[in-house]
Amino acid sequence: MHGLDRKLKRRILELLGYFPAVALLGPRQCGKTTLAFEIMNSWPKEATYLDLENASDLAKLDDAAGYLKPLEEQLVMMDEVQHRPALFPEIRGLIDDGRRRGLRNGRFLFLGSASYELLKQSGESLAGRIAFLELTPFRIDEIKHNQIDQLWLRGGFPDSFLAPKETISTEWRRNFIDTYLTRDLSMHGKSGALPAMRDLLKMTAHLHSHVLNVSQLVESHDFNRQQICDYLDLFEQTFVIRRLNPYFTNIGKRLIKRPKIYVRDSGLLHQLIGIGDYNTLSGHPIRGASWEGFVIEQIIALLPNWEAYFYRTSNGAELDLLMIQGETTLAFEIKASVDAKLTKGFYTAREDIQPNETFIISRNDDTWKTSNGVTHSNVPDLKKLLSNYMDSEP
């Protein structure tokens, strides 16, 4: 137990009251199982836990209906559910039968380290019966304000963030990456020589915050173009990278049409690039790009139901992040410096997009609004800054 409050707990309990099943997705080791056990321990009735990486638990589901039927008054939690996607049609039958007999909601809590795309069968089989949530590693409103730099350096995976010293945090992340490459990818049908896969992931990390150019990776690696595209898809679907899509408008501009690529957890990024301490990070050329990706992930975690984009034209107009929901557009420019200097490209992009609000997120200590309507702020104030746009506690 790490002792930190996970903000998603309340939302999970709320959704279990309205849906027969809730799926909690996120990368391995981000705290899904710990959070789920907290929920089970406070559950008003009995609860059963199944680990689908455990052969004996997996065997219990060979006759899923026969095993689960007697547990219909309990909350059943299934961990690493991506190992048995064919289970969901049977669960749909159990849910529908229970609904006809007036059984309550909150019957199943699924945990998975694969994205919705890899669990698409569950979405199709359980449409209208399941809610999906993503648990990220620790985010800024789950830690103390004076731990922001630690979160940026080490990333948000609990065992990395809470390690007693930097060397242990570094060792944990090194082992995490090796396990991910040798074990997790093979579970999704991708396997290969560890050095080659590690090199590909490292090269992907060196493209962090850049517009993705697959040809660069092809030229530098033994994998062919299709293999690299397949690996990138899997890196994304297992929550390691994010491809941030460009925003298109009908304004007649020459727009960048390829996504930007980010390593989602800043600690994994730093491990892949060889940054082991804060002094190294402070003077490293990737510092600004690392901070940009770190802040983008925090904003997306706070606004999970919004669509995220970047905006860039061939003439240099650019905004790091657009968050869009319905008719509302929020624009963000992210700076690693205290004194954020804005370029002509920023003002041109703002004129192009006409966002409802524009924010400059830097490393200053204050929040203020300029006469032209631009709000300057910092990471610790992000949640307060965005509170009017957030759902009920996510």
Neighbours of 121 (CB within 10 A): 13
Q: In terms of domains, do 118 and 224 share one?
A: no
233 and 301 share a domain? yes
Instruction: Provide the whole-model pTM.
Output: 0.92
Q: Which of 81, 104, 134 is the last residue of a domain?
A: 134
Q: Are 181 and 231 in contact (CB under 8 A)?
A: no
Work out the average pLDDT over 217-236: 88
Total domains in the chain come to 2
Q: What's the distance, CA 102 to chain centroid?
A: 36
Residues 243 and 122 in one domain: no
Rounded average pLDDT over 17-35? 93
Note the pLDDT tens digit of each residue in 371-389: 888 999 999 999 999 999 9
Are 155 and 21 contained in the same domain?
A: no
pLDDT in tens, 79-104: 988 878 778 888 999 999 988 888 88
pLDDT tens, residue by residue, 275-329: 999 999 999 999 999 999 999 999 999 999 999 999 998 888 899 999 999 999 9
Weakest mean pLDDT among 109-113, 247-251, 353-357, 368-372: 247-251
- Residue 394 within a domain: no
CB 244 within 8 A of CB 259: yes
Taking 80 as the threshold, does the pLDDT of residue 117 lie above it? no
Residue 2, in any domain of the structure: no
In this structure, are 150 and 90 located in the same domain? no
The pLDDT of residue 3 is 47
User: What is the rounded average pLDDT for all residues in the chain?
Assistant: 89
What is the C-alpha separation between 131 and 119, in angstroms, rounded?
A: 13
Per-residue pLDDT tens over the stretch 245-277: 999 875 556 666 899 999 999 999 999 999 999
Range of the domain at 82: 8-134
Query: Which of 202, 297, 305, 314 lies closest to 244, judged by CA?
Result: 297
**168 & 186 share domain:** yes
From 105, 134, 163, give the residue that closes a domain: 134
Q: Is beta strand 130-134 parallel, antiparallel or unpaired with respect to 21-25?
A: parallel
3 belongs to a structural domain? no
Q: Of the ranges 70-79, 115-124, 156-165, 242-251, which one carries the lowest mean pLDDT score?
A: 115-124
- pLDDT at residue 121 in the model: 59
pLDDT band of residue 394 (cuts 50, 70, 90) is very low
Structure tokens given for 53: 């990486």
Residue of 70, 13, 66, 73 whose CA lies nearest to 42: 13
